[in-house]
A and B are shown apart, each in its own frame.
Chain A
Amino acid sequence: MADKTLTEHLEFLVEERGEDEATVLARALQTGIETLYREALIEAYLLGRISREAISRSLTPNDLREIEAQRDALRRDVDWGARIG
């Protein structure tokens, strides 16, 4: 089912963009790798496997601030729960 959807989406992109299939696939691969790389980078930072300096070379200051704010919110949530209420 997922393969069928992917095929349909690829056909749509080829037709809509007026590009050949190989070009669309190459771009999809690049976009996919970039998305996965970013996600892996964030995960590595959150888990302490890479430094703030290292991740700040790949993310904008705003994106990094947002990630840290969400990280801190999640931590506060767990901390609140861990207090005896």
Chain B
Amino acid sequence: MPKLIKNGRVIDDAAQILVLDETQAPEALSLPEGPVFVPLAVWQAHKGILADNKAVGVWLDSHESVEDLAEDLDSLSAVALNFPKFTDGRAYSGAALLRTRYGFKGEIRAIGDVLRDQFFFMQRCGFDTIQPKTGKYSDAQLNEALASLKDFSAPYQAAVDQPEPLFRRAQRAA
């Protein structure tokens, strides 16, 4: 079973990420068995049926806006944000918005080109679940990569994981 990092630990995860190819219309829904993340277009086409299914999450690509999910967050337990390339940093803002502006308490999962040297930033922006591509890291490498979550122990600025900046948290030497 594929492995990912959730709340700082490596766990097994069975969720599938449904990707439509060009021939598939969002309206023609066929869900695989078990937990699944569907594209925003599928969610929007089938919201009524999918909303009660706790096995269904939604994934957004980096050009899609979290605002489009804002109304639906109460009926979702998980949202995944895609990094088409690890250098495309839009999902950091997306995750931060989901947590701070929309108060989303469910799972926020980083998917796509997800690399260990960005884990720290992802965690700070509110991703609790980090899923590198299948085969990117061996189980041993993924365990080693947990260390990257702790690259910096006392960051300066406020972010989702640490809502107070250093100057409010600590008595700093003058």
Is chain B a partner of chain A in the same complex? no
B residues with a Cβ closer than 8 A to A are: none
A residues with a Cβ closer than 8 A to B are: none
